[in-house]
């Protein structure tokens, strides 16, 4: 089933993101995570794609397990940076052979050690090229990423929004947002998206802050801003793992509750492969 149809029938759609286990761990270690998440009856589960395609086979295998064994829709992430058209086509064929009908089309980041990476040499320079290619060559439902605070490499928010509009016009069925910690940022973004005539569903990406070290690393990677209220929580509880986790679950629960009240299309929880904490959040908001 195409995930886009869920946004017409369910309001809101609750979904999860997981990542494949490291290559040094057996792929089966993800099953425990999945068993915990599936009990929560999500609309779909997305599976990340390691930088540069490093988790390609595992992403496919786990997405296929979600779809064919657990009978839940799977959204396979796919990045195109540094990939040739025939490589992308091969992956798309493999996904479709596994009945996976939904792809999150991403540009991806250049390798960390490649300074001044030249995107102009790539078959695909931007995610919009990948979206167009998938739509022209298959019947797959395509999601794409959106950045309520702007993408880290884009100097002007208005440019980012215009490129997002261009990407959507290439055939995006729904958008999933980068994580944010202040819902007002997301609501402003929704207004701005409407202003430039983006009318597809825009799903709110929520990351529960479960430990202080994790949050510093993630913020440095994605550039999301930290509201004073959250900074104070990390300051107060950061040294105590148990208290920090409790505070993080409460903070995420408040964000989700407010988003539900405001009638968002969907909430995509970045689970960090932690089903127990996700269960607590959904219980707190009456969704489990
Ligand atoms: P794009 O949409 O191509 O945008 C990238 C930048 O280029 C932006 O600054 C945009 O404004 C600009 N731009 C776009 N089009 C044009 C144009 N035509 N001309 C000039 N500028 C343009 N990474 C992974 O490696 N694996 C994952 O599984 C993964 N999952 C993600 C899931 C979500 C929900 C999100 C939000 C991000 C994810 N990422 C993942 C990170 C993502 O790959 C990076 O943020 C990457 O830098 C941008 O990818 P994109 O698809 O948003 O790029």
pLDDT at 45: 98
CA of 109 to the centre of ligand 1 (A): 7
What's the CA gap between 12 and 236, in Å, rounded?
A: 33
Q: For residue range 125-179, what is the model confidence (pLDDT) as tens digits?
A: 999 999 999 999 999 999 999 999 999 888 899 999 999 999 999 999 999 999 9
The finding on whether 117 has its CB within 6 A of some atom of ligand 1 is no
Q: For ligand 1, pick from 54, 123, 126, 268 the residue to mutate: most ligand atoms within 8 Å of CB.
A: 126
Q: How far is CA 255 from the centre of its chain?
A: 17
Q: Which two tokens stand for residue 154?
A: 């884009």
Q: For residue range 220-265, what is the model confidence (pLDDT) as tens digits?
A: 888 899 999 999 999 999 999 999 999 999 999 999 999 999 999 9
The finding on whether 222 has its CB within 6 A of some atom of ligand 1 is no
Q: For residue range 48-79, what is the model confidence (pLDDT) as tens digits?
A: 998 777 788 999 999 999 999 999 999 999 99
The finding on whether 58 has its CB within 6 A of some atom of ligand 1 is no
Specify whether 250 is catalytic: no
Is this complex's ipTM strictly greater than 0.85? Answer: yes
Helix (H) or strand (E) holding 164: helix 157-169
How many CB atoms sit inside 10 A of residue 279's CB? Answer: 17
Angle value at C-alpha 159, between 157 and 162, nearest 5 degrees: 110
In sequence order, the β-bridge partners of residue 15 are 44, 268
CA of 107 to the centre of ligand 1 (A): 5
Q: Higher pLDDT residue, 280 or 217?
A: 280
Using CA atoms, how far residue 224 sits from 30, 205, 220, in Å, is: 28, 12, 8
pLDDT at 175: 98
Write the secondary structure of 193-231 as one string of H (helix), E (strand) and C (coil).
Answer: HHHCCCCCCEEEEECCCCCHHHHHHHHHHHCCCCCHHHH
| Segment 266-286 mean pLDDT | 98
Please report, to the nearest 10 degrees, the dihedral formed by the alpha carbons of residues 54, 75, 83, 106 taken in order: -110
In contact, 47 and 62? CB cutoff 8 Å: yes
What's the CA gap between 141 and 101, in Å, rounded?
A: 6
What's the CA gap between 166 and 172, in Å, rounded?
A: 10
Q: For residue range 6-47, what is the model confidence (pLDDT) as tens digits?
A: 999 988 999 999 999 998 999 999 999 999 999 999 999 999
pLDDT at 198: 98
Q: For residue range 78-134, what is the model confidence (pLDDT) as tens digits?
A: 999 989 999 999 999 999 999 999 999 999 988 777 777 887 878 999 999 999 999
pLDDT at 113: 74
The dotted CATH code for 3-284 is 3.20.20.220
3-state class (DSSP) for residue 99: coil
pLDDT at 223: 81
| Domain residue limits, the chain | 3-284
CA of 81 to the centre of ligand 1 (A): 10
What's the CA gap between 101 and 96, in Å, rounded?
A: 6
pLDDT at 108: 94
């Amino acid at each position: 089933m195409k995930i886009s149809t869920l946004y017409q029938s369910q309001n809101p759609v609750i979904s999860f993101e997981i990542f494949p286990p490291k290559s040094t761990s057996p792929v089966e270690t993800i099953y425990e995570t999945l068993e915990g998440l599936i009990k929560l009856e999500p609309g779909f589960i997305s599976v990340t794609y390691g930088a540069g395609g490093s988790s390609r086979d595992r992403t496919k295998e786990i997405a296929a397990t979600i779809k064919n064994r657990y009978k839940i829709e799977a959204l396979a992430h796919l990045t195109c940076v540094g990939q040739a058209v025939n490589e992308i086509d091969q992956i798309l064929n493999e996904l479709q052979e596994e009945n996976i009908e939904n792809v999150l089309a991403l540009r991806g980041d250049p390798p960390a050690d490649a300074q001044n990476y030249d995107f102009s040499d790539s078959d695909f320079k931007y995610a919009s090229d990948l979206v167009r290619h998938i739509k022209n060559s298959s019947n797959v439902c395509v999601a794409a990423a959106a950045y309520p605070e702007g993408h880290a490499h884009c100097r002007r928010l208005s440019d980012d929004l215009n490129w997002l509009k261009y990407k959507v016009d290439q055939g995006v069925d729904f958008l999933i947002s980068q994580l944010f910690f202040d819902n007002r940022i997301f609501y402003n973004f929704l207004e701005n998206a409407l202003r430039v005539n983006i009318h597809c569903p825009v799903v709110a990406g929520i990351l529960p802050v479960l430990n202080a070290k994790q949050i510093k690393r993630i913020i440095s990677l994605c550039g999301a801003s930290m509201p004073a209220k959250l900074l104070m929580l990390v300051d107060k509880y950061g040294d105590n793992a148990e208290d920090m986790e409790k505070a993080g679950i409460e903070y995420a629960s408040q964000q989700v509750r407010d988003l539900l009240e405001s009638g968002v299309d969907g909430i995509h929880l970045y689970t960090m492969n932690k089903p127990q904490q996700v269960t607590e959040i959904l219980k707190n908001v009456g969704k489990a």
